[in-house]
Structure 1
Amino acid sequence: MNISVLGCGRWGTFIAWYLNKAGHQVLLWGRETSKNYKELAETRKNDYLALPEGIELTNSLEMAIEYSEVHIISISAQQLRSFAWQLNQHNIKGKTFILCMKGLEAESGKRLSQVVSEEAAGANVAVWVGPGHVQDFVKGIPNCMVIGSENVDITKEIVQKFSSDLIRFYYGQDMIGNEIGAATKNVMGIAAGMLDGLGYTSLKGSLMARGTREISRLVRAMGGNDITIYGLSHLGDYEATLFSPHSHNRKFGQSFVEGERFGKLAEGVATVEALMVLSKQYNVEMPISGALYQILFENAEAKETLEQLFLRPIKFEF
């Protein structure tokens, strides 16, 4: 099967590597001006892996779209709307686009599948979410992930063709829950990193318990299944985000409270903004997300704000 991977950062490059290893013909696209693309074009490797000879590289979006009926998008979530508009300038009707990023549109709070559907009408949209780090996968450490779409036939086809001994895929039945869950686990990752940086690592158990409850309330208000938050897309991804040394979001949170600069993308920051939009829109109380917003965007003092968050007035747990 021919597959185009659009985006050649850490995750996009891994996906190309994985699908080639699973027996597919893969074309990997990146912007000509991208540092990641230039590095791959010159050396065919990055900090995590070396590209097999069977993977073709291109900086032509037209070529990438024509190459396949199935396309995987792995770029920054906040660039997705403009990128989807670019895609719509080509013949994409009936083609399938699988979103392999975890975020929400900051200004609107919209899910990424909604963004693509608005800008690229006529395309099929699916999501690929769940736990796992490139650093572990390339060592042969397996994990479980989720594929979901509004069309169960598309979901089943992708799962059947993408599954291997390295990744076991499950059918995602709840797009709202899976997308919100995947995006917000990065928010909880930032909170976990802040707790680590403040020496409050033992509070991450409370964060996990209360974080899942907070996000499940939002999903239910949005019309999704609140139980989805306890599946792979959110709670199942906590180990890879709240505890892993590889997590960009956890490392960002720790660096933030330690006063150090973190130079890599932490999608959870923009997701915090989006959650404030959704909190107001659906009238859902979100104390953890709200506390992070105060710290990140309103210059609230992290130690005091997080202490107040976890020492709120006594109430029944459920």
Structure 2
Amino acid sequence: MEKVAVLGAGSWGTALAMVLADNGHEVRLWSHRQEHADEINATHKNEKYLKGVQIPESIHASNDLSSVVKGVKHIVLVVPTKAMREVCKDLVNVMDQEVILTHASKGIEPETYKRVSEVIKEEIPDKFYEDVVVLSGPSHAEEVSLRQPTTVTVSAADIKVAEKVQDLFINRNFRVYTSPDLTGVELGGALKNIIALGAGISDGLGYGDNAKAALITRGLAEIARLGTAMGANPLTFSGLTGIGDLIVTCTSSHSRNWRAGNKLGQGNDLEEVLEQMGMVVEGVRTTKAAYQLSKNQNVEMPITSGIYQILFEGADPRDVVDQLMTRIRRHEMEDLTNILDEQMND
């Protein structure tokens, strides 16, 4: 049994805390709001984020970061990417021993183009952690909290540390694979949210499954192009954290990115949508970062560019989707061939 601190009591943080509790670990769940922590402790529910789900009584929630991390071996960061730097800075002030840091947040920081693990390493001195591990894959919190079968991937610079996190989480319902490709695992998890916005927009416009399948397929090509340019293994994007996560996020009403895109496609403006959602939509921030990054890396990403125009330049969703579906023709295998050629020449 391990002592584990889970930082972030949203839907995904709570679901992961439940997996850890099911495995017999001592789990402390941190919320940035005291009243939220009190509600979880009193009712053993988290109605705003996981309606109707019963949380194990062994999970203790708190707003006191110091008490939550005191004496733990593992810290699992599940906060929105925009809050990651602030939480890490606060964490440095209360950590009392070396830990394994795992994050399950999916995004890229605008302007700096940093992946979440890079943000963590910038803010927390390496004397405080054995390594930083990413947990990612096709996983709706709602289904995980109901103990429905789910498979994810963990990755770290040191694969032996990733295996420790694999052992921490794995159980009959929550299967965990390892990957040596930290960059690819993080980028796949972040970039698929952009494509999910596009799939939701297409559905909101009333277009059918044919159009959505095309967006998903071409979206995967975009993800692989940018990922490879940043040093990822292109094969990673054919796995759980690539096409697996892309499928589940682009096709399910559980996906907040798909739901946000769906509302945009129905004619709502961005501020309206974000207010209605009541939860962080990571794809919005990641779109800005990926758009900037594609220009910086000179990587063609037409879907990302189109979503950026809708979100930040007031473009009409129907015009953008129509333009994407009627782009200049090219050979379907061209992207894959170019990516594999680049890998062979490295």
Q: TM-score if structure 1 supplies the norm length?
A: 0.95
Of 271, 278, 281 in structure 1, the residue corresponding to residue 293 of structure 2 is 278
Does the Cα contact within 8 Å between 1:126 and 1:155 map onto a contact in 2? yes
- Aligned counterpart, 2:83: 79
Is residue 308 from structure 1 mapped to residue 323 from structure 2 by the alignment? yes
Bigger shift: residues 88-97 or 155-164: 88-97
Of 134, 158, 172 in structure 2, the residue corresponding to residue 127 of structure 1 is 134
TM-superposition CA deviations, 1:131-172 (whole Å, max 9, x none): 121222233320210011111110111112321011111102
Distance 2:36 2:228 in 1: 39
Kindly state the Cα deviation for residue 299 of structure 1 after the two structures are TM-superposed.
0.3
- Going from structure 1 to structure 2, the CA distance change for 1:184 and 1:141 (only over 3 Å counts) comes to same
Does the Cα contact within 8 Å between 2:6 and 2:13 map onto a contact in 1? yes
- Aligned counterpart, 2:249: 241
Distance 1:92 1:240 in 2: 39
Is residue 53 from structure 1 mapped to residue 57 from structure 2 by the alignment? yes
Q: Output the amino acid matched with 2:113.
A: G
Q: Superposed, which structure 2 residues align to 1:79-158 within 5 Å?
A: 79-91=83-95, 94-122=98-126, 123=129, 124-158=131-165
Kindly state the Cα deviation for residue 125 of structure 1 after the two structures are TM-superposed.
0.8
Q: Output the amino acid matched with 1:206.
A: A
Does the Cα contact within 8 Å between 1:78 and 1:106 map onto a contact in 2? no
- Aligned counterpart, 2:197: 190
Q: Output the amino acid matched with 1:166.
A: N
- Aligned counterpart, 1:8: 9
The DSSP-based 3-state class of the residue aligned with 1:105 is coil
Of 236, 240, 245 in structure 2, the residue corresponding to residue 228 of structure 1 is 236
- Aligned counterpart, 1:65: 69
Bigger shift: residues 7-16 or 86-95: 86-95
Does the Cα contact within 8 Å between 2:198 and 2:307 map onto a contact in 1? yes
Kindly state the Cα deviation for residue 94 of structure 1 after the two structures are TM-superposed.
2.8
Does the Cα contact within 8 Å between 2:149 and 2:174 map onto a contact in 1? yes
For structure 2, the residue ranges without an aligned partner over 5 or more in a row are 335-346
Does the Cα contact within 8 Å between 2:12 and 2:141 map onto a contact in 1? yes
Distance 1:3 1:64 in 2: 9
Distance 1:74 1:177 in 2: 19
- Aligned counterpart, 2:215: 207
Distance 1:314 1:185 in 2: 24
Kindly state the Cα deviation for residue 38 of structure 1 after the two structures are TM-superposed.
4.5
TM-superposition CA deviations, 1:91-148 (whole Å, max 9, x none): 3663111101111112322100000000102122111100121222233320210011
Q: Output the amino acid matched with 1:274.
A: A
TM-superposition CA deviations, 1:259-304 (whole Å, max 9, x none): 3433232100000011012112211111110000001000011101
- Aligned counterpart, 2:342: none
Kindly state the Cα deviation for residue 32 of structure 1 after the two structures are TM-superposed.
3.1
- Going from structure 1 to structure 2, the CA distance change for 1:116 and 1:92 (only over 3 Å counts) comes to farther
Distance 1:256 1:54 in 2: 40
Aligned residue pairs total: 317
Does the Cα contact within 8 Å between 1:192 and 1:201 map onto a contact in 2? no
The DSSP-based 3-state class of the residue aligned with 1:108 is coil
Does the Cα contact within 8 Å between 1:70 and 1:95 map onto a contact in 2? yes
Distance 2:96 2:286 in 1: 28
Does the Cα contact within 8 Å between 1:184 and 1:234 map onto a contact in 2? no
- Going from structure 1 to structure 2, the CA distance change for 1:239 and 1:313 (only over 3 Å counts) comes to closer
Distance 2:193 2:96 in 1: 31
- Aligned counterpart, 2:32: 31
Q: Output the amino acid matched with 1:19.
A: L
Bigger shift: residues 185-194 or 128-137: 128-137
TM-superposition CA deviations, 1:193-221 (whole Å, max 9, x none): 00000111321111121111111011111
Q: Superposed, which structure 2 residues align to 1:151-190 within 5 Å?
A: 151-190=158-197
TM-superposition CA deviations, 1:297-317 (whole Å, max 9, x none): 000111011110110112222
Does the Cα contact within 8 Å between 1:108 and 1:277 map onto a contact in 2? no
Does the Cα contact within 8 Å between 1:16 and 1:26 map onto a contact in 2? yes
- Going from structure 1 to structure 2, the CA distance change for 1:302 and 1:145 (only over 3 Å counts) comes to same
Kindly state the Cα deviation for residue 31 of structure 1 after the two structures are TM-superposed.
1.5
Taking only the aligned residue pairs, the percentage that are identical comes to 34
Distance 2:74 2:316 in 1: 46
